[in-house]
Structure 1
Amino acid sequence: MNETIKNILSHRSIRRFKDEPIGQDTVETLIQCAQAASTSSYQQVYSIIGIEEQSIKDKLAELAGNQTYVAQNGYFFVFCLDYHRHELMAQIAGKNVDDTISSKEGFMVGMIDVALAAQNVAVAAESLGLGIVYIGGIRNNLPEVSELLRCPDHVVPLFGMAVGYPDAAPGLKPRLPQTAVFHKNQYAEDEKALPILKEFELQTAEYYRERTGGTRDEGWATQMARVMSQPKRTYMKEFIESKGLDRQ
């Protein structure tokens, strides 16, 4: 097993960082790694906003649900789906790309491009001894986040990433068994999947029991059912369409 694989398999979310900034050279290297990610048809439908002003970090932390590690880290990135740049490109080329930008496929291409770029940053950061945590909480208040970051139409902040030198060493959280997520040739039938999920429920309940000293023993299925029983951020469709995206 090489070092790259070891680093990937050692991933854990870090929510407490040392009060130590990340050097600009490192930031630029991480962005370079983001840009090396695969991108659909060379479209590169993303932008990354580096948050260096503490006042903006503080406001983002508030908008994300008062998550302290959004404000207290070595560096904070916001990953955005970005078709505004393609509008400028179309002006240069003398073409109209509005139908593609506003299509469902276009929206999916953008989200996939953003995720691929971000994961390259995560892997690269961890290879340098840094820790990371993704921040989906910025979608709690996207209109306010978008205004704070001055995002034009066709630009949507999808998530943040706090990066820094770890000041915590949390244990590895169990993942679903490979047999639950890897299907060969065809999607597995439910009678094969259910026993695997039931066993994982017991495993994760024990994980939380040990991690919390018995104060929590909620297994994965119980936890996910509780979290997903009420939909979140139901304003999202309207907001995305207001940005000129996902209309077709």
Structure 2
Amino acid sequence: MNTTIEQILNHRSIRQFKDKKLSSEQIETIISAGQAASTSSYYQAYSIIGITDPEKKQALKEVSGQQYVENNGHLFVFCADLQRIYQSQPDEIQSAMRTNLQSTEFFMMSVIDATLAAQNCALASESMGLGICYLGSLRNDIQQVNDLLELPYYVTPLFGLAVGVPKEDTDKKPRLPFQSIYHENVYVNNQEAVEAFDETTKEYYQLRGSNTREDTWSSQIGRKLKTPMRMDVASFIQSKNLNKH
């Protein structure tokens, strides 16, 4: 196994960071790694916003409810961005291209572009000895995040990425078994693999270094999803002239 695969397999989320800001060189390296990711048809349909304003960080922490949104080495917010494509064209082309830009296909494409870039950023950060944590919790109030970042039409915030020097050495969470994730030729509903994974996660939660509890993967997922969450996201996305058809 080579060192790249070892690094990938050793990933864990870091939620406590030392009080040390990333240097401009580190930030530029991380962003450059993100830009090296594959991108659909060369659209590069994403933007990354670095949050350095303490007041904005505080406001984003309030949206998220998570302290590490504010206390980290650097906070990146990844956005699906079709505005740059739109603005690059003369008026007559802009009018013709709106049908495409407002489609579900182009929204999915921009989300995928942003996500591929983000994972490259995460891997680059970890290769530099930094820790990372993805922040889907910024969508707890997606409109407020949008307003804080002053995002125009065709641009929408997706998630954050907190990066910094780790202050803790966290346990590595187990993942679903290979047989549950990988299917050959057709989809197979392998409930036995999920049941076996519940036993694995039950042991993990009992034995991990902190916050031990009686729990399983399926129980945890059930608790999270029995109450509707972030039901405002669909209407917000459409208000940005995205995912309309």
Which TM-score band (shorter chain)?
over 0.9
* Shift of residue 49, structure 1, vs aligned partner: 0.2
Counterparts of residues 43-192 of structure 1 (less than 5 Å): 43-65=43-65, 67-91=66-90, 94-95=93-94, 96-188=96-188, 190=189
Aligned to 1:198: 195
Secondary structure of the corresponding residue to residue 97 of structure 1:
helix
Structure 1 residue 186, shift from structure 2 partner: 1.7
TM-superposed CA distance for 1:64, in Å, is 1.2
One-letter amino acid matched to 1:241: Q
Letter in 2 for 1:132: I
Equivalent residue in structure 2 for 1:238, among 235, 240, 244: 235
Structural RMSD (CA): 1.4
Q: What secondary structure is seen at the aligned counterpart in 2 of 1:44?
A: coil
Deviation of the 1:70 alpha carbon: 0.5
Given candidates 199, 220, 224, the residue that maps to 2:221 is 224
- Inter-partner Cα distance in structure 2 for 1:87 and 1:205: 49
What is the TM-score normalised by the length of structure 1?
0.95
| Alpha-carbon shift at residue 185 of structure 1 (Å) | 1.8
- Work out the CA distance in 2 between the residues paired with 1:77 and 1:97: 29
Matched residue type, 2:75: F
Aligned 8 A contact 1:80 1:156 in 2:
yes
Would you say how many aligned residue pairs link Structure 1 and Structure 2? 244
Q: Letter of the aligned partner of 1:72 in structure 2?
A: N
Q: Do 2:51 and 2:76's aligned partners in 1 also have CA atoms closer than 8 Å?
A: yes
CA contact (8 A) 1:90 1:97 kept: no
Q: Which structure 2 residue ranges, 5 or more long, are not aligned?
A: none
The C-alpha deviation readout for 1:44-98, integer Å capped at 9, x for no partner, is 1100001112221111111112x11000000000000001111111228845310
- The aligned counterpart of 1:4 is 4
Q: Distance in 1 between matches of 2:89 and 2:157?
A: 22
Change (3 A) 1:28 1:225: same
Does the 8 A contact of 1:57 with 1:71 survive in 2? yes
Bigger CA drift: 52-61 or 152-161? Answer: 52-61
CA separation of 1:179 and 1:62: change in aligned 2, threshold 3 A: same
| Shift >6 Å, 4+ stretches | none
Once residues 213 and 53 of structure 1 are traced to their aligned partners in structure 2, the CA distance between those partners, rounded to angstroms, is: 32
Amino acid in structure 1 at the alignment position of 2:27: V
